[in-house]
A = this chain, B = another copy of it.
Amino acid sequence: MRISPPFLALLILGGYAMMARSDEGMWLLNDPPRELLKQKYGFDLTDAWVKRVMHASVRFNNGGSGGFVSADGLVVTNHHIAADALQKLSTPQRDLYRDGFTAATKAEELKCPDLELNVLQSIEDVTGAVNDAVKPDLPPALAFAARRAVLASIEKKSLDETKLRSDVVTLYNGGLYHLYRYKKYTDVRLVFAPEKAIAGFGGDVDNFEYPRYNLDVSFFRVYENGQPAKIEHFLTWSETGPKVNDLVFVTGHPGTTNRLETLAKLTHRRDQSHPYTLARLRAMEAALLQYGESSPEAHRQAATDHHRYANARKAFAGQYQGLLDASVMEQKNQQERSLFEKIPNSDAWKRVAEAQGVLSIIEKEHALLETGHAFATELFAIARHLVRLAEELPKNSSDRLREYRDSNLESLKFQLFSPAPIHADLERVKLTAALTFLAENLGGSHVQVQKVLAGQSPANQAAELIKGTKLADVAERKKLFDGGKAAIDASIDPMILLAKAIDAEARGLRKRYEEEVEEPERQAYARIANFRFKAFGKSIAPDATFTLRLAFGTVKGYEVDGKPLPPWTTFAGAFERSTENHNREPFDLPPRWLEGKAKLNLATPFNFVSTADTIGGNSGSPVLNRGGELVGVNFDRNRHGLVRNFVYTDVQARHIAVDSRAVIEAMRKLYQAGHLLKELTGRN
């Protein structure tokens, strides 16, 4: 019998009354919940169904999901996942992010400068090989190195043999290792995007809320050898959408959940990681907001960065409320005790707690100097890669810092040499905010802070760094990359000098983090995972890892303060909400919608909710019906769902999707996109 953690808690807490299975789980495609679906929904999950869905699911490497929706390589995702590409394709004269885009023909489709899409081809369990290479008695530093080496070599071997992108994925925080092989697309072209005002209608106010009225979709097309790629497995666009109480599936790439973490780890997150993260996100968001208000062009430049920080801030703020809710922590406590009672002599939990002790000491310095929160500009990220590549490439692939392993170099260089525009003023503002945040956290007397600021205020130092660096120029990056260590040693580019100046300290922090936090945690979690497998089998899905998962749920509304919220909204609701707010930002409908209102069937279902288990990274995930047809595109959770990082709940928590019918109605009536409708549905 599969027992979900909350259900377990309910059992312990005496909640026997509620015997129905919950819809919890972001399931592995190679170990899907067949029995559960059969039992609860009478649904037979066939191999063919799974295979088709796996090959039709697309990962957006900038942090989202999508799906193939035609044989000619058409991919649907969210507008907010397309945002990065829209921004990079825009100019001061043509703001595609704000105004949208429709390619009337394939020739008009716009090639994205650095967008990489991945499509999963196969999964192979390599747990045995990994564990064989990491002897149980190795001290943490050697164990970490051995593990890094074996992962790099498995990936390299797979890449050489298959030419597919090959990543070993750590599941159950160290309980299992699976090798994922992806087909990679780097010629990705923009086909269609609506205006930001309707894609992100309601802005930060309505983000993570419901009811919603968002056309949060965009379409790309993948090309191979200059031609639209031929796609065997794609999803049919449903003209009828889902019905209430329908079983639906979400296939996508959930980023991170923390449900299998110990109470000590969650307490650390609550009392240290989350407060730090919230402070950082607010600082960056405020800086971008202010810059964006300073002129129309600044607003254009800052728009996507600002949205990204605001979105993360709202997500973390919601998670943080959950961590401070004693009932959530008590539920985690009960789960932990129930497992611990089966293996009272294990010190695995204690080991995780000890690792948090080390983390408490180094966490801020590590995040600021090594993760790079202190240097929040693309230009620093480039400088650091160049400095480290010069150092790492001469080594064997398996001895390098993991991001420089052979199997990752192609994707890394695709980003590093991206011709996407870099705006000096925007980068200066972000770097000023980040350097200021560095000083706020470590203090003005900290030796690294003094090194970084060099006697200047953060604002002045940021201005000089951005003014002085030549790294906005791709040719300059290539020259430094090609010149290797000699070129880096000789460089007096101020951003390169900064990256060099703090590299020893940053590497030292990383080493401590890897050997004294990451490795002990991984070993301890591997043991806990094995206890859990013995007790419950694999009836509990692993935490999310930004790899393909299958979730399922039921389309249904919920109640807030005794007031029922319906499972659907309609176009009419969008016009009402806009009018209520005097059509002011962020409730301003695009002119196309205001002028085209009479053409629209206002009863068209716009957004809907279901109980399926999603998290950030699922943005853009196809929502499918039993027949595997696409009935919606997931784009958000409601705020009740923010606690799902830690515990699944379906009392009020819902994910939110754009109804497939809304896309059809809007494309047909407002966007002159009959040719795309034809491609999606076979009809104009």
Listed in ascending order, the chain A residues whose CB lies under 8 Å from chain B are 203-205, 267, 270-272, 274-275, 278-279, 282-283, 285-286, 289-290, 293-296, 313, 317, 320-327, 436, 439-441, 443-445, 453, 455-460, 580-582, 584, 586
Q: How far is it, in angstroms, between the C-alpha of A581 and the C-alpha of B293 when the chains are bound? A: 9
Q: Which residues of B contact A289 (CB under 8 A)?
A: 289
Determine which of B282, B453, B582 lies in contact with A324 in the assembled complex, contact meaning CB atoms within 8 Å.
B453
Q: How far is it, in angstroms, between the C-alpha of A680 and the C-alpha of B324 when the chains are bound? A: 58
Closest to A203 in B: B293
Q: How far is it, in angstroms, between the C-alpha of A298 and the C-alpha of B441 when the chains are bound? A: 33
A305 CB, nearest partner CB in chain B, Å: 16
Q: How far is it, in angstroms, between the C-alpha of A652 and the C-alpha of B444 when the chains are bound? A: 25
Closest to A325 in B: B457
Q: Which residues of B contact A436 (CB under 8 A)?
A: 317, 320-321, 324
Q: How far is it, in angstroms, between the C-alpha of A289 and the C-alpha of B455 when the chains are bound? A: 34
Q: Which residues of B contact A295 (CB under 8 A)?
A: 580-581
Residue pair B293, A440 in contact (C-beta under 8 Å):
no
Closest to A277 in B: B440
How many copies are assembled? Answer: 2
Q: How far is it, in angstroms, between the C-alpha of A325 and the C-alpha of B317 when the chains are bound? A: 33
Q: How far is it, in angstroms, between the C-alpha of A444 and the C-alpha of B263 when the chains are bound? A: 13
Listed by A's residue number, 9 A-B pairs whose Cβ atoms lie within 8 Å are A204-B290, A267-B444, A271-B445, A279-B279, A282-B286, A285-B286, A295-B581, A296-B584, A323-B444
Residue pair B455, A326 in contact (C-beta under 8 Å):
yes
Interface SS majority for chain A:
helix
Q: How far is it, in angstroms, between the C-alpha of A286 and the C-alpha of B267 when the chains are bound? A: 25
Residue pair A275, B441 in contact (C-beta under 8 Å):
yes
Q: Which residues of B contact A440 (CB under 8 A)?
A: 274-275, 278-279, 320
Q: Which residues of B contact A323 (CB under 8 A)?
A: 444
Closest to A582 in B: B296
A439 CB, nearest partner CB in chain B, Å: 6
Residue pair B445, A267 in contact (C-beta under 8 Å):
yes
Q: Which residues of B contact A204 (CB under 8 A)?
A: 290, 293
Residue pair B321, A444 in contact (C-beta under 8 Å):
no
Q: Which residues of B contact A270 (CB under 8 A)?
A: 443-444
Closest to A577 in B: B295
- 6 nearest CB pairs, A to B: A275-B440, A326-B455, A271-B443, A321-B457, A325-B457, A282-B282
